[in-house]
Every structure is written in C-alpha cells, then in structure tokens.
Amino acid sequence: MAQANDRPVGVFDSGMGGLTVLKALRARLPGERFVYLGDTARLPYGSKSPETVSRYAVQCARALTAHDIKMLVVACNTASAVALPALEGALAGTPVIGVVEAGADAAVAAAPNGRIAVIATEGTVNGGAYVRAIAARRPQAQVVQQACPLLVALAEEGVIEGPIADLVVRRYLDLLFMRAKPECILLGCTHYPVLVDVIARTAGPDVALVDSAETAAVATARLLAEKGIARKTKGDAAPLFLATDATERFARVGEIFLGAPIDPETVTLVDL
C-alpha cells in the first residue's frame, strides 16, 4: 500500500463536468495524484431524486476507495447538494469535500450587497443547499435560483458557443432577470463553466460570474494540509480516469472540460 501522503485524491462527478473541478485541483495541487470517476452511464443526476443520487454517489465513492484514496472531492453540485451525509456515513474516516460550500464562499465574496443568483440543475435548486449555505455566510443575502437543465446537454454535446447556446442561455437568464437583478451569478453546476463566455455576454458586464472549482481546490488544499496528508513528493502525475460507460467519448468530450488532452488509453471502464 502507498504511503498515506502518496495515496491519490478521489474525485467524482455524474459525468465529465467535474473535470472542470479536476482542472482547478491539478493547477493548485500539482504534486498530488488524482483518480477521477465519471458516472457516464447514469448521467444526468440533476433530474433524479435525492435518494437515487445518494445511492449512485455512494457507489461511486466505494469504487474510488478501491483505489485507496486519501480523501474524496465530490465534483458534482447535485451530489454535493443531496448526498454528503450519505457519503460521510459510507466513507467513515475518509475526509469528504463537496462543491456547494466552496461555491457559496465564492458567491458571497463576489456580491458585496448580497444579491446572488444561483443557476443549477433541478435537483440542486429543489434541494436548496446553496440557499442555505449562502444564508449561513450572509443571512441578509437575497438569493434567487434558476434551474437550467438544457445547459448540461449543450455542454455534453460541445455546443458551447453559437446561436443555439445563445438562445438557450438567453431564455434562462430572461427568466432569472424577470425576478431579480443579481450582482453575481453562481454557476452551480459542473457543466456550466464551459459556457461561461455565452453566459457572461448574455448577463452583461455588471454581473460577476463565479463557480466553485477554484474555491473547492483551495478548500481541498487546506484540508490536506490540516490533516497532514498533502503529498510531499513533487511531480505532475497524469490522473487515472474511470468511467461507467463510453470511455472513448469520455476522453473526446472530456477534453472540453479539462482543457487538456485525455489519452483514451488512460480511461478505464468500471461497473458499479
């Protein structure tokens, strides 16, 4: 078995969107080893019940513990919003971090007057985890939420610019701006950062956009340091990728989210 500090950090998402979080993790923690699981066979999580998402999330976490992970980053907003208690119960002893708390930190920092909009999947919006996390930090904040389910499909298809992306983003932001004038929009879904240019153009220059990837990476670095399990050895090891379906597609489409090439040979098919 590897030395405690040399063990990998486990990261999972319902699919490839969590690679935006892995990208931020690798940039902040270049010495760490990572194993990433995308549950591509069962995406989307965002339209499923909390019970189903919790069950799937625990299965993903168990598959990662088979790789001897030293901590788990839940790089899926929907799973972070509804499944953290189940994950903490299932992984007794292994530290778990979700992206919701990190996203709330980023939103509060970017909204001096507390006018915050959260765009996310239906599951995340209905669960209200972001509203609670923001209220815990800034009780006076005015938070509006907007579910944007089609944005996941656009991102998965690589339709991240052009007239179709413009139209869909415009439709959702119109619904949002009819209800509020936010100073900040939190991209509360792993898939949305790849659509950031369209969202920024549509929202206009007065609205700040934030996501949880960077703050989740900061929180991960802090937790590794606090627990004394940060990797001492330097060197940028290639991540290990696991997917529950379509490994070739994972490598091809995943590059959009990771912002770097993925060798299909490094993606292993797993059955949960």
Residues marked as catalytic:
76, 189
- Return the half-sphere exposure (C-beta side, CA atoms, 13 A cut-off) of residue 31: 11
Report in angstroms how near the CB of residue 155 gets to ligand DGL at its nearest.
9
Q: Which helix (H) or strand (E) holds 143?
A: strand 142-147
Residue of 8, 44, 98, 254 that binds ligand DGL (CB under 6 A): 44
Stretch that binds ligand DGL, among 58-66, 74-82, 248-256, 263-271 (CB under 6 A): 74-82
Comparing CB distances to ligand DGL, the nearer of 74 and 230 is 74
Give all strands of the β-sheet with 267-269 in edge-to-edge order. 96-98, 71-74, 9-13, 34-38, 240-243, 267-269
Using CB atoms, what's the residue nearest to ligand DGL?
Answer: 46
**Minimum CB separation from ligand DGL for residue 103, in Å?**
10
When asked if residue 190 is in the footprint of ligand DGL (CB under 6 A), the reply is yes
Residue placing its CB nearer to ligand DGL in the complex, 199 or 230: 199
Query: CA–CA separation, 261 vs 207, rounded Å?
Result: 32
In the list 191, 198, 211, 242, the residue contacting ligand DGL (rule: CB under 6 A) is 191
Binding window for ligand DGL (CB under 6 A); candidates: 40-48, 106-114, 172-180, 205-213: 40-48
> Cα–Cα distance between 147 and 255 in angstroms, integer?
25
Q: How far is CA 82 from CA 46, 53, 79, 184, in A?
A: 10, 7, 5, 24
User: Binder to ligand DGL among 13, 101, 105, 211 (CB under 6 A)?
Assistant: 13
Exposure of 83 by Cβ count < 10 A (0-12 exposed, 13-18 middle, 19+ buried)?
A: buried
Report the alpha-carbon distance of residue 190 to residue 241 in Å, rounded: 17
Work out which of 60, 61, 72, 76 binds ligand DGL, going by CB under 6 A: 76
**H or E, element range at 107:** helix 100-110
Structure tokens at 230: 């940060």
Q: Does 121 bind ligand DGL (CB under 6 A)?
A: yes
Near ligand DGL by CB under 6 A: residue from 189, 213, 216, 242: 189
Contacts with ligand DGL by CB under 6 A lie at 13-15, 17, 43-46, 76-78, 121, 124, 152, 189-191
